[in-house]
Amino acid sequence: MRIDIATLFPEMCEAVLGESILGRARKNNLVTVCCHNIRDYTLDRHNRVDDSPYGGGKGMVMQADPIFRCYEAVCELSGDKPHVIYLSPQGRVLTQQIAVEYSRMEHLFLLCGHYEGIDERIIEEIVDEEVSIGDYVLTGGELPALVLADSVIRLCDGVLSGSECFEQESHYNGLLEYPQYTRPEEWHGKRVPDVLLSGHHANIESWRMEQSLKRTETKRPDMFQEFQRRNSDKC
């Protein structure tokens, strides 16, 4: 998989992408992630990439042309047309299911807006879809792009030690994850549940499923109702 991130702050993105699981995935060539500074593609001698909005209003709007030049350069470099995602509070909200969908794609181009947004014409010209990470507004698209990249990269082949590493996590199967424990067996008077110490794998799996269902019903009743609906449809 290849992910290209078009941003005004590539150093900010690299600071995250070079660490932990993401950094190891890149180092081991399991994924290719490249950050592109949109300012490198402006023809303005002062490296400006924004201007005041037509019709008036506060703030500045990112211009279409530098973004388009960046996109063209990435297409030429990769030799294909990526799936272009604009990180925007107006987009569909990112979920685990959407991350799985993206992990099966060959090439993503993540466009990070800033200021008051970007010229609508570049959205119409190159963007395949808009994606949000929640119903709130951030300063720019860099944090959402990093969240999306992280959620996708960890699902790619070889990044984690096995598919079971993410198949039992919250949201993957429509439920929240069961409680986790590690040593010591007792801490501050609280003991690890006996079933987890029993070595009886079938009982452990049954307990974990029971806890996932209980936790989802309590913390996310909306998810629990959707899980019940989907499973009743299968009957």
Burial (0-12, 13-18, 19+ Cβ within 10 Å), 55: exposed
Cβ atoms of residues 148 and 85 within 8 Å: yes
- Would you list the DSSP string of 54-81? TT--SS-EE-HHHHHHHHHHHHHHHTS-
Is residue 168 predicted with pLDDT exceeding 60? Answer: no
Is residue 207 predicted with pLDDT exceeding 90? Answer: yes
The listed CATH number (1.10.1060.10, 3.50.50.60, 3.40.50.300, 1.10.1270.20) that belongs to domain 168-233: 1.10.1270.20
pLDDT digits (tens, 9 = 90+) for 112-144: 999 899 999 999 999 999 999 999 999 999 999
Mean pLDDT of the chain: 94
Calculated CA dihedral for residues 159, 162, 165, 168, nearest 10 degrees: 130
Q: Give bridge partners of residue 32 from the DSSP assignment.
A: 2
Q: Tell me the C-alpha distance between 189 and 103, whole Å.
A: 43
What residues contact residue 180 under an 8 Å CB cut-off, 6+ apart? none
Residue ranges of the domains in the chain? 2-153, 168-233
Q: Does domain 2-153 have CATH number 3.40.1280.10?
A: yes
pLDDT digits (tens, 9 = 90+) for 68-100: 999 999 999 999 999 999 999 999 999 999 999
Using pLDDT thresholds of 50, 70 and 90, give the confidence band for residue 233. confident
**pLDDT of the residue at 230:** 86
Alpha helix segments (H runs only) across the chain: 10-17, 20-27, 64-78, 96-103, 120-126, 142-153, 164-167, 194-197, 201-219, 221-233
From 26-35, 152-161, 163-172, 225-234, the region with the lowest mean pLDDT? 163-172
Mean per-residue pLDDT for 210-215? 96
Instruction: Return the structure tokens found at 83.
Output: 């799936």
pTM: 0.87
